[in-house]
Structure 1
C-alpha cells in the first residue's frame, strides 16, 4: 500500500525542528499494516510515521532530552511554553508513581528559529500534578492532589520559591485513581476557573479563591468556544457541551436535574465518537472485546480521549476556526470535529469521514493534550510512552501486549511537542503581553487569535488594571469586532466595572452572544434592585428572537432577580420556554429552596393548559417529594387533590409523584446516548484486572478521599430539615404524620384510581393498616 511521503526539514538546532510539508496526495490515506517495531524511535524517525490531510504541516518544536513525560502544557504571557512533566506508569515494576518526582518546566525559543531550546525547572518534587494555570508573571496555580497550590517566583529567576495552599483536601486524593482525580484549571471568558471531575468553580480574588458550587463529571480536559460554552472530555465519548454554566446548577438542593450541562452534542447517532486509526490498534485495554475493533483490527470509537482543545487561532485553515481537536493516545491519533449551531443548540460532526486529522503508525505516539498557541498554530503534546493505562485498570490482555512488545522499556524520560499549521493560515505575532501598556492589552481583546484575547483579558483582570476601564468602555461601544466587544464586556465584569449603562447596552445588543453575556453580568445589578436593568431583563421575556442561547441564559439568570420580581418572572419564563427542559431546569435551579412551595402554588394558579407549566409541575413535585418534610409533602398532596385542580395540572403532579415513588421515567431526562454494540468484557480471564491488589489499594484511597470530600460538602451545605422520604428494604416510602385524606379521595376518580392507589401503597402514616 502506498503511503504519503513525509520529507524531513534540515536540522535547525540541537533540539531539531523537523517538518512535514503540506500534502498534495489524495485523502484519505491508505490503511497501513501493523508496524514491525514497537521500541523507542528517535524524533527524526518518528516524523516518518505521520499522516495529515493535504495542505497541513507538522513540525517538532521540542523533544527529549529538553522535555520529559509531559501531560499538560500552557503558554505564558511572554510566549514561553510551560509543561507539567509526570512520573505516570513508567513501568510494570513500580505500579504507583505517587512519589515526588514530577516537575513543571519552562521551555523557550531563545534564538527565534521556531525551536524550543531552553529549559528551566520552575518547580520539582511534585506528586503527579494534574492541572496548571499561569495567573500572571511569577504566579502559577498547580493542582496536585489533594491540594491546590499557588507557586510564586518572588525574585525573577523562573524558580518557585513560595508555595501556598489555596485549597486543601478536596482536589482529588493522593494515591487515588489518576483517572478519577480533578484536572483542568481552565480560565474561561467569564473569569471563572473550571475543572473536570470536580464540582467546584473558582474565582480569583487577588489572594485566593472564591468558591462556587458547580457540576463536573467528565474525566480529562476542559475547553470552551469563543462564547465560553464549556466542552469537557470523557475517555470514551466525544466532548459534551454546557449551554448553561456550571454554577447555576449548584444553587438548589431540591432541583438536581441539570439539563443543558454536559449535554451530548453528537446528534442521535454515535458518529462523533468514531475514530479512524491509520493501522490496526490491538494494544488497547479491551481489544479482546467484540465491537471494540473493526474488521481491520482498528479501534472503532474513542476509548482513552482527553486533553481536548477548541481551535481559535489563525495558522490553520480559516475554516478550521472553532473546530474541536481531541487527542486519542490509545489509537495514536488526533481527531478533528466541527461545531455547528443548529438553531436549537450545537452539533459536533467529525471533519473527515474514513480518516482522522493526525494519525501515526508508531505505537509510542501518545497525544495527550492540545492547545492553541500565541502564534495561532495548534500544538500537540506527545507523552511518547509505551504505557498509557493506569495500572488500576490494566487487564490481563493489555498486560500481555505490554510485556510482549517491551512497552515498559521507556528509554528514559521522553516528551515531544508538535506544531500544526496550514498553507492558507497566517501566523500571529508573538509578543510579551506583560510588557505591553494597558491600552495595548485592551486593543488585543479584538485580536483574530483567541489566545491573545484570552490572555490579555486574564492579565487585565488578575492584575486588576482599573486604568483599563475607559478603553474597555470604548471598545465595548465602538469595536467592529463582536468578539472584541464580548471580551470587553467580560473584562469590565472582571474589574467590577459593569454599571447600569453598560448592562442596558448589552441587554439591547443585536448580537446574541453579547445579549446572553449581558444577562449574566447584569445579575448583581438586578439582585441589588436596579429597576432599569430589571425592567430590561423582564422585557426580554417573550422577546428573544427565538434564540436558544438567550432563552437558556434568561432562564438561568432569573434566579438573580430580587424578591419582588423573581417568582412572577420565573412563571412567565416557564410558560414561554418551559417546554424545553434545558430552559426549564435552568430557571428552576434559581428558585430558593424555601420558595419551592410558593412556586408550586403559583404554577397551579396558571389556568390555561401550558406544556411548560405542566413540565414544571412534574419537576417541582418530584423535587419536593424527594426532600420535603412530612408537613411539606402533606401540603403538596392537599394541593394536588384540591377540587379546583385542573385535570392537566393534576396529571402532571401525579407523574412527579410516580417518578419518585414508583420508579417512573423522569420525562425531562436527556435521551440516552446511543450505545455501541460491544460484546462482553468477560472473556476467559482476559478482562480480569492484572494488578488486583494494587487496584484494591487505590480503591481504598479513593473511598477515603470521597468520604473526606463528602464531609466537607456536608459541613458547608445549609442544613435541611428531615425528609419524609425513607428507603425501606430498598423501596422508597413517604412517612407522613397524618392520613392524606384528600389524596385518598382521588381513588374515587376512575381515571386516577389505579395510579393513586399504587402511590398510596408507598405512603405510610400513624394507624395505617399495613
Structure 2
C-alpha cells in the first residue's frame, strides 16, 4: 500500500514454472477506491512481462520485485504511474528449484531494511550481479534483509520451513508464520531455528531454538499432514500463509492490537495468535479464529492494513491447496481481493508524499502504524535533515509512550540523525526496549567501538532485563570473535537465563567462533556458564579443531571433575 493508500498487487500468471527469458506473463497492478464506496474502481497496469514474481514492496522511489533468480528495483515515474526506467537487478542467485518457497514476503522493517523470507527446499547463493562465490551468501530456510542505500545483504536468521509471512510488532520485534512444523517463531538476528529438513549452514550449531508458539493448529500425534481436514477444533491444519500484526486504528477491538493474523490454508480460516512476553522473548498463545471462509478454494496469501485501519486480503482462489509444478492444474483467473472494515472505519484520501517534514514527524504519534511506516519511508528517501532530527529527538526524550519513543528512534536511525554517543546514552535508558534497540543499532555495521564494547560488558554483567541480554548475545555474533570475551564472560553467568527459551543457544552461537580463536579461553568461559550444555558444546567444538594444541588443552579439562548440573535442563540446550 503506497503513500496514497493505493493497493499494489502482483499477478503471478507465470507460476509454477519460470518462463523462457522475455516470455514472462506476470504483471504489477495499482488499484484505488476513488469514491469511498469500498470497491477498487480504478486500475492501472504498472508493468507487464515479468517472470515468476513471488512478492513486491513499494518504497524508496520504486517497486521492489522478488522474481527468482533476481531481486529487482523498478523506479516509479510519479507523474504517470509507470516505470521510470528498466528493472534494475540489485541481487541475483536466488534459487527456484521449488517455486512455492522462493524469496518472498518483502516488507520494510522499522530499521530501514527490506526484509524477506525464503523456503527450505530451494537453494540460493545470493550476491550482487557478477559477484564471485566468495562475495555471495548461501541460504535456504530463513529470514534475510537488504538495505536500499548501503546495498548490504545479509542472512538475518536461519531455519524454520517455508516462512510465508513476516511482520513487526509495536516494539519492532519480527515474527514469522510457517508451514508443516510448528507455525510461529519470534525472530532474533543471528538465531538458528528448528528446521523442517536439512542441516544448518554452521556444522557446529549442535542444537537449534524451537518454536515460540505454545500450540499447533493440527490434531493428533501422527504428524502435521495427518491432521489435514480434521483439525477444525485446533485451528484448521499445519499450513499458513501471510502474517499481519494489527497496528491499525482505534476502531478495531483493542485485543487485536499486536496480535498476529495468518491464513490457515487447509482450515479455510484466519487464525489469530497472541504473543506475550516471556523471559528474553515471547510465548505465543492461541486466540479465537478471526473468520471462516467455508470455502476450500479460498487461499488468502497476505494481509495489509491501510490508512483507514481497514485490512486488505489477497485471495489466490484455486481448488489446489498445495503446490504442483504442473501449470495445468492451477486456476489463475479467479483471484480476489477482500477488504475488511470495522463499521466505524471511514474512507480516507491521503498523499503523504506531499506532506511537510514536520507533518511526517507528527504522523509518528498516530494510532495507526500505517502512517508511521509510510512517513518513515518518505523521510528515509528524503535523507538527513537537522530539523527533522530535532523534532524526532523531542519525541524520543519526552513522549511518555515507549512505542512512540521507539518510532522516533527508528526514524532517527534511517535518516542518519544519530551519532554513536546518542545510542551510548540510550544504553542507560530506563526502558528495556530502548536499551535493546540501542544495542541493535550500535551493532548494525558490525564494527563496535571500544566505548560501545565497554558499555556492553557493563550491561552484560548488571542489566536486569533478559531481553537486553538477548540483544547483547545477538550483537556479539556481529562482532569480531577476538573482542567478544568480556561481554560473553558476563552473560554466561546469569543463572536466571539458564532455562530461557533463547539465551542458552544464542550464547552458544556467539561463543562458538571464539573457540577457534582461543580454545583455552573459550573453555574457561564455558566453565563459568550456567546453561547446562555450554561446556559440553565447547569441548566438542575444541575437539573438532583436532590439532596437537587443542588436544592438549582438552586433556586438561577432561581430567577435571564433572561440574554439577545447574537446575533443570533447557529444552534447546
TM-score, length-scaled by structure 1:
0.62
> What is the CA distance between 1:419 and its match in structure 2?
2.3
Given candidates 537, 554, 560, the residue that maps to 1:640 is 554
In structure 1, the residue matched to 2:126 is none
Ranges in structure 1 where 5+ consecutive residues have no aligned partner? 1-74, 90-94, 276-285, 403-407, 653-666, 672-770
1:599-621 CA-to-partner distances (Å, cap 9, x unmatched) read 54224446986523x63322223
Q: Of the candidates 142, 155, 159, which is equivalent to residue 82 of structure 2?
A: 159
1:235 to 158, 162, 179: 179
In the alignment, is the contact (CA less than 8 A) between 1:534 and 1:561 conserved in 2?
Answer: no
Aligned residue number for residue 204 of structure 1: 147
Deviation at 1:119, TM superposition (A): 0.3
| Distance in 2 separating the partners of 1:670 and 1:636 | 27
In structure 2, relative to structure 1, the CA distance for the partners of 1:465 and 1:111 (3 Å cut) is farther
Quote the offset at 1:108 in angstroms.
0.8
1:452 paired residue among 347, 360, 371: 371
Write out aligned runs for 1:134-283 (5 A).
Answer: 134-137=58-61, 139-154=62-77, 156-173=79-96, 176-197=97-118, 198=140, 201-206=144-149, 209-217=151-159, 218-219=161-162, 220-237=164-181, 239-246=183-190, 253=202, 255-256=204-205, 259-260=208-209, 263-267=210-214, 271-274=215-218
Structure 1: distance between partners of 2:9 and 2:57: 11
| 1:380 and 2:313 matched | yes
Pick one of 260, 263, 284 that aligns with 1:324: 260
Q: Which moved more, 1:298-307 or 1:515-524?
A: 298-307
Question: Helix, strand or coil: the match of 1:521?
Answer: helix
Contact 1:327 1:370 in 2 (8 A): no
Q: Which residue of 2 aligns with 1:540?
A: 459
- 1:261-300 CA distance string (max 9 Å, x none): xx41222xxx44249xxxxxxxxxx99x76434399x997
The 8 Å contact of residues 185 and 213 in structure 2, kept in 1 or not, is answered as no
CA offsets 1:97-137 (integer angstroms, 9 cap, x no match): 74511111000112233321100011111122011111234
Q: Any gaps of 5 or more consecutive residues in structure 2?
A: 119-139, 194-199
Between the aligned partners of 1:607 and 1:184, the Cα distance in structure 2 is 39
Structure-2 separation of matches of 1:82 and 1:345:
33
* Counterparts in 2 of 1:446 and 1:119: CA distance versus 1, 3 Å: same
Question: What are the residue-to-residue correspondences of 1:49-64 with 2, within 5 Å?
Answer: none
Conserved? CA contact 1:85–1:102, under 8 Å: yes
* Deviation for aligned residue 1:191: 2.1
How far does residue 473 in structure 1 lie from its aligned partner after superposition? 1.6
Secondary structure of the corresponding residue to residue 239 of structure 2? coil
1:397-420 per-residue CA deviation (whole Å, 9 max, x = no partner) reads xx9xx8xxxxx6x5x723322222
Deviation at 1:552, TM superposition (A): 0.6
* Corresponding residue for residue 8 of structure 1: none
Where in structure 2 are the equivalents of 1:607-646 lying within 5 Å?
610-612=529-531, 615-626=533-544, 628=545, 630-631=546-547, 634-642=548-556, 646=560
Distance 2:526 2:315 in 1: 61
Question: Could you tell me whether the CA contact under 8 Å between 2:115 and 2:144 is conserved in 1?
Answer: yes
The residue number in structure 2 matching 1:499 is: 419
Match of 1:476 in 2: 396
| Two-structure CA RMSD over aligned residues (Å) | 3.6
CA contact (8 A) 1:166 1:209 kept: no
Give the C-alpha shift of residue 369 in structure 1. Answer: 1.3
Determine helix, strand or coil for the equivalent of 1:306: strand
Select which of 62, 74, 77 maps to 2:3: 77
The structure with the largest alpha-carbon Rg is 1
Given that 1:77 and 1:136 are in contact with CA atoms closer than 8 Å, whether structure 2 keeps it comes out as no
Deviations 1:574-629 (A, max 9, x none): 12266247324334444584x424554224446986523x6332222333444x3x
Cα deviation 1:638-657 (Å, max 9, x = unaligned)? 122227953236x99xxxxx
After the TM superposition, which residues 642-721 of structure 1 pair with which residues of structure 2 at under 5 Å, given as runs?
Answer: 642=556, 646-648=560-562, 670=572
Cα distance in 1 between the residues matched to 2:227 and 2:512: 47
Contact between 1:189 and 1:227, CA under 8 Å: does it hold in 2? Answer: no
Q: Distance in 2 between matches of 1:374 and 1:237?
A: 34
**1:86·1:129 contact (CA, 8 Å) conserved in 2?**
yes
Change (3 A) 1:238 1:459: farther
Superposition deviation, residue 243 in structure 1: 4.5
Shift of 1:392: 3.8
Alpha-carbon distance in structure 2 between the residues aligned to 1:82 and 1:497:
31
Which one has the bigger strand percentage? 2
Task: Verify the 8 A CA contact 1:465 1:495 in the aligned structure 2.
Answer: yes
Matched residue of 2:30: which SS? strand
1:555 to 473, 479, 495: 473
Alignment CA distance shift 1:588-1:318 (3 Å): same
| Alpha-carbon spacing, 1:387–1:502, altered in 2? closer, same or farther (3 Å) | same
Q: Aligned pair count?
A: 530
**2:29–2:47 Cα contact (<8 Å) kept:** yes
Alignment of 1:557-636 (within 5 A): 557-559=475-477, 566-576=484-494, 579=498, 580=500, 582-590=502-510, 593=513, 595-605=514-524, 610-612=529-531, 615-626=533-544, 628=545, 630-631=546-547, 634-636=548-550
Structure 2 match to 1:348: 284
- Structure 2: distance between partners of 1:542 and 1:426: 49
Q: Secondary structure at the match of 1:153?
A: strand
Structure possessing the higher relative contact order (Cα contacts under 8 Å, 6 or more residues apart): 1
Deviation at 1:521, TM superposition (A): 1.7
| Cα distance in 1 between the residues matched to 2:205 and 2:90 | 26
| Alignment correspondent of 2:129 | none
Structure 2 match to 1:109: 33
